[in-house]
Structure 1
């Protein structure tokens, strides 16, 4: 079989799902995973008698129907066989039928294929051969879409590595019907892709989500949104007690004024009611404090901190009351949703939980900070952690302990990790080897949603960030994946004929980063800039740029053998070159003639434009860099 690269085209898609958590597993962990085949013909010389069946009631804009379309599209790509799609109207199961049934069709029940919603939850999938048909479905639309992708992966080797790199075996002219019985549930039921490279199509292929698919935005905002519910311009003049002593946060006690507190809860719950009604599929909503490392210092908040030892207790108490009020208003309005999760932040001033520790076991200080009764969830976002070290490392022991604290408080924990240098996007953040270990820690502590925030406002990132995106998605789906297997697969497909050289470059770079981190005691937090002469000597940078040149030479033969593949591989190599060229200009630009330096900067800007680089740091466009470099 030869390999074909399929360029992915973005399409819009947005569906909400229920949050939950499970380990990535099969029905029988000891089962042989080798693909087996029946004696029945599936495709013979690019011709098939099969039909793809979807539910007559299917919403063509939803993921389940998309699963049927993707199945048709990629089977044709792999085999040349054009398989028609039909609805299940009037169809029943028979062992002699020749169907690929996608989703909860009328055929499914007759075939005896069960979909255990509690087990599969919102992302799990089932694939089962019954007679001459194959059934692909999940308990939700997403599970059904992922069942289609899993079938394509197992039967035709389909795998997505980047937004512009999806591979599938081609030239498969003849193949027997696969004999399959697969149940798969991901390690984290909700996996958020917080990287700018993601569009709707790429997210689906990588089996990750956007936050909006399960969280109802609060007046358009998902995080740091407390002032969006209770804006100062609207309420502060009449309700000054609603705001902290410094005016940067809410006062979650309303300064101890019971009348004002009741009005504050009532007003905020009206806002949450409206937002949840506007997102009828959402099963959660956030009410999170503003992005300042400060808290209210009024007498009531100070007394709470004295009692509980932490500031988070006041937020927990308020959100508990907010959840009760909002749920009552939803019920009165006829909304039948149950177990809505109300998320608050463990971030900055609220990082630590109000717990006691007895015989090594954490528990809430008292019932006043109970979070389970009203389904309060926590978004644990340890922004100051050293992400170049695993959470099990001594540098991060305190953060692992905080994970344990919050898991004692609630069954709904959302891990928000960080995966780039936010103050300079051209800095290498050497977290490749810690992603899996940190997610394993998260799995221990009730995590139902996992997100690593990378360059979320940057589509084309350097410093091997596309490899990070791939690693995060693969580990969030299955924590038992092997790093070396993922490393080899990604580099072989993403850099093609330059794979060996780019592997050498990557290993040299990450080894060097580990060296200077230890040598200079560099703390790998997302605000620590590492482009410094001590860390990156000119000789090392030039050695890496020589490897870049060798990589270009490696792919030269593809110009004629695979022009489209050559163009993508060239761009991928060029994108990685930006980090090293940036270091050279920033650190050693003074060593070049003015004309040479201007040409280096101009070519750098030209390549950034061609590749789609739009930002040089969080929330600051690349134009700011051109201004610093005096490029008109």
Structure 2
């Protein structure tokens, strides 16, 4: 038994190298901060060169005390992000790389073994124990995913990301281990092949036929370039190099299709796509050529592209180069049922074809990432019952060799309604370790965030997911008039929220409950007939409360100021 604190006093010292990296130094201060918050004791941080080894030490990373202990841990085998926590007598060793691994080991100790939970950027659960003891530990873990991002535009606090061991926020400082940095992230061909070339070189852009397959012509505006034009490729190589030179610290550069389906139908493009059985054919030949061009001068940079909509199906012959990442997008799927068990099928969309495409890409890709979706982008406030697919889908991706996941959530600039704080928390935890106890994650969040109202919010959570039966599917643009959002569901939810408000501990918890309740009120406002005499006042009350909670958008594309008139007029 290791006694880290006894009656608010401690004999332990945190030991780091005199040449510790910024992340190990930061980790030591984080450990000191939270141990002191837990126990009330005072912990000192010492450099390895300033004291002789003793039993009562918490050793972070590689240093002379770690090496003298000879505890059988091979730090190199852990890679950049793996960790090994081990007790050796009274000494605690937290081993990992000086990039992120040792820092993640500190957070793992605080989280799994000491009970610290960082639920949101402004809500944490830190236990209080004046006497703090631990049993023997020998815990080794390497995360299965190299890229982990539970993205929500307004919820990207760097402390939340670092403490929950997510590595893809641009706000992560060097002291927090830095992040996996992109150059241009997505839909980048519009910059790599600038559309201002359309006037002088229309042949650089898509040739399209009309609906009858006749009258071919070059199109303008926001379209795809012609990927088989050799001059286009040379321009793309030049501009890709220019972007990399401007972003010397990036790890990945996006060379990915624009966000439309106006692909080129010229003879050369059609020939390749027909041979490959997919429009991904022309794209991958193009991306491979750029990846080959930069490989020598930028050996540590990968080229990312999308398998998205018309390029989702894998090609029959061409394969991605070793320095190419393919990001497969699940935009067409049902998000109410796990990928493996959903009955929805289709030749171009749906689960059946997506899983087939996933298997196909996994067989030919060295690094396969997923772009997944975790919000209703047309109606951000309304209930989105996707929680029961989060874990099985992440596990399914990992089993098929996926090495990175971007979970695209709400894109509003700051505040969101619905259960988005819970969603981001469980995603962060599952991206780190897909096999955690899911119900435990949900309950620890609800208990910490909603406190006395948590049982009622859990009832609402369960009621929401009871709507998703075998033949009810959930998509990311579902309207409030979906049959599963029935009046009976709304009425039962109102009763639950009445009880939740009564059991709220204080004004902060009450406000959180009322903010979540907006999701039910929004649906009711949308489906209530215009002739209902109470509708106008109900809608105005909803709008006022949405504003009072700082929510500035009801959907991805428009501000609240654009949506509110349509809500009043019953046009949503």
Structure 1 and Structure 2 fold alike (TM over 0.5): yes
| Deviation by residue 1:372-416 (Cα, 9 ceiling, x = unmatched) | 4x4211000121111212111232111111001111111201111
Q: CA RMSD, aligned part only?
A: 2.5
| Counterpart-to-counterpart distance in 2, 1:571 and 1:376 | 46
Which residue of 1 is the match for residue 557 of structure 2? 619
**Alpha-carbon shift at residue 325 of structure 1 (Å):** 1.4
Q: 1:483 to 1:154 in 2, by over 3 A?
A: closer
Q: 1:545 to 1:261 in 2, by over 3 A?
A: closer
Query: Following superposition of structure 1 onto structure 2, how do residues 117-132 of structure 1 map, counting pairs within 5 Å?
Result: 119-132=77-90
Secondary structure, aligned partner of 2:14: strand
Q: 1:478 to 1:266 in 2, by over 3 A?
A: closer
Query: Following superposition of structure 1 onto structure 2, how do residues 314-353 of structure 1 map, counting pairs within 5 Å?
Result: 314-330=282-298, 337-338=299-300, 340-353=301-314
Which residue of 2 is the match for residue 479 of structure 1? 434
Which residue of 1 is the match for residue 450 of structure 2? 495
| Counterpart-to-counterpart distance in 2, 1:441 and 1:578 | 33
**Alpha-carbon shift at residue 237 of structure 1 (Å):** 4.7
- 1:183 correspondence with 2:140: yes
| Counterpart-to-counterpart distance in 2, 1:386 and 1:151 | 37
Q: 1:69 to 1:251 in 2, by over 3 A?
A: same
Farther off after superposition, 474-483 or 65-74: 474-483
Higher relative CO (Cα under 8 Å, sequence separation at least 6) belongs to 1
**Alpha-carbon shift at residue 225 of structure 1 (Å):** 0.7
Q: 1:116 to 1:147 in 2, by over 3 A?
A: same
| Counterpart-to-counterpart distance in 2, 1:543 and 1:135 | 51
**Alpha-carbon shift at residue 59 of structure 1 (Å):** 5.0
Which residue of 2 is the match for residue 469 of structure 1? 424
**Alpha-carbon shift at residue 310 of structure 1 (Å):** 1.0
Given candidates 460, 483, 492, the residue that maps to 1:505 is 460
Which residue of 2 is the match for residue 151 of structure 1? 109
Given candidates 385, 389, 404, the residue that maps to 2:333 is 385
Q: 1:623 to 1:437 in 2, by over 3 A?
A: same
Which residue of 2 is the match for residue 32 of structure 1? none
Q: 1:394 to 1:99 in 2, by over 3 A?
A: same
Q: 1:608 to 1:107 in 2, by over 3 A?
A: farther
| Counterpart-to-counterpart distance in 2, 1:118 and 1:551 | 50
**Alpha-carbon shift at residue 427 of structure 1 (Å):** 2.3
Q: 1:534 to 1:272 in 2, by over 3 A?
A: closer
Query: Following superposition of structure 1 onto structure 2, how do residues 271-286 of structure 1 map, counting pairs within 5 Å?
Result: 271-275=242-246, 278-280=247-249, 282-286=250-254
| Deviation by residue 1:180-223 (Cα, 9 ceiling, x = unmatched) | 222112232321121232311221222223254655443xx210
Given candidates 371, 380, 391, the residue that maps to 2:320 is 371
| Counterpart-to-counterpart distance in 2, 1:287 and 1:117 | 35
- 1:86 correspondence with 2:46: yes
- 1:514 correspondence with 2:514: no
Q: How many correspondences in the alignment?
A: 541
Asked if structure 2 preserves the Cα contact closer than 8 Å seen for 1:56 and 1:89, the reply is: yes
Structure 1 consecutive aligned stretches of length 4 or more whose deviation exceeds 6 Å? none
| Counterpart-to-counterpart distance in 2, 1:141 and 1:589 | 58
Secondary structure, aligned partner of 1:128: strand
| Counterpart-to-counterpart distance in 1, 2:396 and 2:43 | 44
Given candidates 164, 184, 192, the residue that maps to 1:229 is 192
Query: Following superposition of structure 1 onto structure 2, how do residues 155-166 of structure 1 map, counting pairs within 5 Å?
Result: 155-166=113-124
Which residue of 1 is the match for residue 347 of structure 2? none
Asked if structure 1 preserves the Cα contact closer than 8 Å seen for 2:107 and 2:164, the reply is: no
| Counterpart-to-counterpart distance in 1, 2:550 and 2:88 | 48
- 1:571 correspondence with 2:511: yes
Which residue of 1 is the match for residue 367 of structure 2? 412
Asked if structure 2 preserves the Cα contact closer than 8 Å seen for 1:102 and 1:135, the reply is: yes
| Deviation by residue 1:453-509 (Cα, 9 ceiling, x = unmatched) | 111335433332222222222222222223332233222222211222222222122
Which residue of 2 is the match for residue 312 of structure 1? 280
Given candidates 385, 388, 406, the residue that maps to 1:430 is 385
TM-score (norm 2): 0.87
| Counterpart-to-counterpart distance in 1, 2:132 and 2:16 | 23
| Counterpart-to-counterpart distance in 1, 2:410 and 2:538 | 25
Given candidates 169, 173, 183, the residue that maps to 2:127 is 169
| Counterpart-to-counterpart distance in 2, 1:567 and 1:105 | 48
| Deviation by residue 1:514-534 (Cα, 9 ceiling, x = unmatched) | 15x73xxx54221222x1174
Secondary structure, aligned partner of 1:616: coil
Q: 1:142 to 1:443 in 2, by over 3 A?
A: same
| Counterpart-to-counterpart distance in 1, 2:531 and 2:446 | 34
Unaligned stretches of 5+ in structure 1? 1-36, 331-336, 356-364, 559-565
Asked if structure 2 preserves the Cα contact closer than 8 Å seen for 1:122 and 1:189, the reply is: no
TM-score (norm 1): 0.80
Which residue of 2 is the match for residue 244 of structure 1? 206
Which residue of 1 is the match for residue 397 of structure 2? 442
Secondary structure, aligned partner of 1:293: coil
Given candidates 529, 538, 548, the residue that maps to 1:600 is 538
Secondary structure, aligned partner of 1:570: helix
- 1:50 correspondence with 2:12: yes
